[in-house]
Each structure stands twice: as C-alpha cells, then as structure tokens.
C-alpha cells in the first residue's frame, strides 16, 4: 500500500521517530480519500467523504511498530494555505492521479511536482495511480 511505501521510503531518516506523517495530495476526484480508507480498513469505500480527518494506522500495522498518520487534503483553491502547511510538515507525500482521467497524470508534471519544488519540500514523494478499475470507462 502507498502508506507502507512511504514509510519504507523514509529509510534511515525514519530511525528514532515516534510516528510518521504521510500527506496525500492530488487533483480533486483522483481517489485520495478512497486510497486512505482502503489503507486503513482493507476495504473499498462506496462513498468516502470529500476530505477525511487525520487517519492513524495502528502501530502494529507495520513490522517496526511506528504508527503512521495519513493526512487527506483538499485541492480546492480556498484550502491552498492548509495544503501548503500540510506538505511542509510531511515526512512523506503520496501524490495521486486518476487512471481514468489522463489529464490528472499530466498535471503531476505541469503543476504538482513544480509546486512541491517551489515549496522546497524535501521528503520522499510516492506517485500513486488510483481508479485503475475505471480506466476503460468513458467519463
């Protein structure tokens, strides 16, 4: 799962921490909240909320027993300040795109990655394609 990849990506920097903060970002409707619910519950949500509260995975979820808190974000312009703050406080970032909407993949290189560079975010970034089951659907 993306949270496990984020924790593994922290590698040696992770040693001694009491928790890991993973922030999930991406365009609206790319599956951020569904990804978090699936990671936390091992089930796919029928209709997840638009933005989840911070979700803490149990310490025994991973072999090193360090709890992971996953932060869902809104990509709406009115929440930009909060998104920036969350990215700057992250230990790792999961950047999502929707497999059924190719434009969201393009925006990784035209908007999201340049924005993370502009913010001088110096943490691992894991790119995750969501909604693979919808890839052949017409939207």
Residue 57 is classified by DSSP as: E
Hey, what domains does the chain have and what are their CATH numbers? 2-6+20-133 (3.40.50.300)
pLDDT band at 86, cuts 50/70/90?
very high
The pTM for the full model equals 0.83
Higher pLDDT among residues 97 and 41, named by residue:
97
H or E element, residue 136? none
pLDDT at 11: 46
Distance between CA atoms of residues 73 and 28, nearest Å = 9
DSSP string, 45-113: -SS--SSPPPEEEPGGGSTT---EEEEE---SGGGHHHHHHHHHT-SEEEEEEETT-HHHHHHIIIIIH
**Biggest distance spanned by C-alpha atoms of the chain:** 47
pLDDT at 12: 41
pLDDT at 137: 55
Size of the chain in residues: 139
User: Is the predicted pLDDT of residue 42 greater than 90, yes or no?
Assistant: no
What confidence tens digit (pLDDT) does each residue in 21-38 have?
999 999 999 999 999 998
Distance between CA atoms of residues 128 and 139, nearest Å = 20
């Amino acid at each position: 799962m993306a949270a496990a990849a984020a924790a593994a990506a922290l590698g040696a920097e992770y040693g001694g921490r009491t928790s890991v903060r993973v922030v999930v970002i991406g365009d609206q409707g790319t599956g951020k909240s569904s990804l978090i619910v699936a990671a936390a519950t091992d089930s796919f949500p029928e209709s997840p909320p638009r933005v989840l509260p911070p979700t803490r995975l149990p310490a025994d979820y991973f072999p090193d027993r360090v709890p992971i808190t996953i932060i869902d974000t809104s990509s709406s312009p009115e929440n930009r300040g909060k998104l920036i703050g969350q990215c700057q406080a992250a230990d790792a970032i999961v950047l999502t795109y929707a497999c059924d909407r190719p434009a969201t993949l393009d925006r990784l290189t035209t908007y999201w990655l340049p924005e993370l560079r502009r913010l001088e975010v110096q943490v691992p970034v894991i790119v995750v394609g969501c909604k693979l089951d919808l890839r052949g659907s017409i939207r």
